[in-house]
Amino acid sequence: MFSKELFNNKVALVTGGRSGIGYAIAKMLLQLGAKVTIASRKEAPLQKAAEELQAFGDCEYKACDIRKTEEIQALAEQIKTNHGRLDILVNNAGGQFPALAEMINDKGWNAVINNNLNGTFYMTREMGNSFFIPQKEGIIVNIIANIYRGFPGMIHTGAARAGVENMSKTIAAEWSDFNVRINCVAPGIIESSGLDGYPPPIQAMFEEAKKAIPAGRFGTVEDVANVVTFLASPLASYVNGTTLYVDGAQHLNYDIMGLPRVIRSFMNPS
């Protein structure tokens, strides 16, 4: 669908690129000519993913925790040494756990905010300072979530992703002086490794939720990668500071009480 030369001579970084949505994004960028570095915490699966992705192009890896500025700076150094520049940053790394608002303690709240909001900001700031601002060129795509009607059942990630969305609007304005574009992609329920960790009652709820998705199906990792590719390409050169939902219109027609009711049923069966 896209020209195979679309990202020739472009250098990209995909956080969380070892699995699921991030892997599909890295694969698509490689297939379209980009040189891609993937980064996440667990070195062994990261290395394995990078070796697999080599089949599609020039793929490197660096273990990095997005919550640690010094590790992000080491990642920037590797990209600088190997490529001398960075053109595309995809902030995809993240994670959360289902819980009702009244049950989340400080540690759980801070863990999700630190990962999904702070980590995304640290990564964006460091890659901005290391590459995009001095280059006067750069593209950022942030993977958030369907936060259109809040996020009942995962208040921490809803708040963190809303923070990323607002941060993106600010950077779109502040860094337009440096020819930097930044946008968000909000996936609905995507069939990917990220769903595997949820307990069986929540997996069953996802199946039930499918009926309320106007598209009548879950999304695929390629559905998300296609939209990231569009936003990272010159086709989107006048798109800045916005969010594209990739959810089969679920945000317009969603039983938002499905997840909290399921959590309540197995946390407190009475």
Binding site for ligand NAP (CB under 6 A): 15-16, 18-22, 40-42, 64-67, 92-95, 115, 119, 143, 145, 187, 189-190, 192-195
Torsion of CA 253, 144, 203, 197, to 10 degrees: -170
Nearer to ligand NAP, 17 or 138 (CB): 17
Nearer to ligand NAP, 109 or 178 (CB): 109
Kindly state the smallest distance separating residue 243's Cβ from ligand NAP, in Å: 12
Number of neighbours of residue 226 by Cβ within 10 angstroms: 17
Kindly state the smallest distance separating residue 36's Cβ from ligand NAP, in Å: 14
State the Cα–Cα distance between residues 29 and 15, nearest whole angstrom: 13
H helix intervals, the chain = 20-31, 43-53, 69-83, 106-112, 120-127, 133-135, 155-174, 200-209, 221-232, 258-267
Kindly state the smallest distance separating residue 152's Cβ from ligand NAP, in Å: 15
Kindly state the smallest distance separating residue 238's Cβ from ligand NAP, in Å: 26
Nearer to ligand NAP, 42 or 136 (CB): 42
- For 127-157, letters b (16+ CB in 10 Å) and e give bbebbbbebeebbbbbbbbbbbeebbbbbbb
Nearer to ligand NAP, 93 or 141 (CB): 93
- The residue type found at 193 is S
Nearer to ligand NAP, 21 or 30 (CB): 21
From the list 116, 114, 50, 118, the residue with the least C-alpha distance to 82 is 50
Kindly state the smallest distance separating residue 94's Cβ from ligand NAP, in Å: 3
Nearer to ligand NAP, 33 or 41 (CB): 41
User: Residue 154 gets which letter from DSSP?
Assistant: B
- The residue type found at 263 is I
Kindly state the smallest distance separating residue 253's Cβ from ligand NAP, in Å: 17
Conformation bin of residue 9: beta by default, left when phi > 0, alpha when psi is -120 to 50:
left
Kindly state the smallest distance separating residue 8's Cβ from ligand NAP, in Å: 26
Nearer to ligand NAP, 58 or 65 (CB): 65
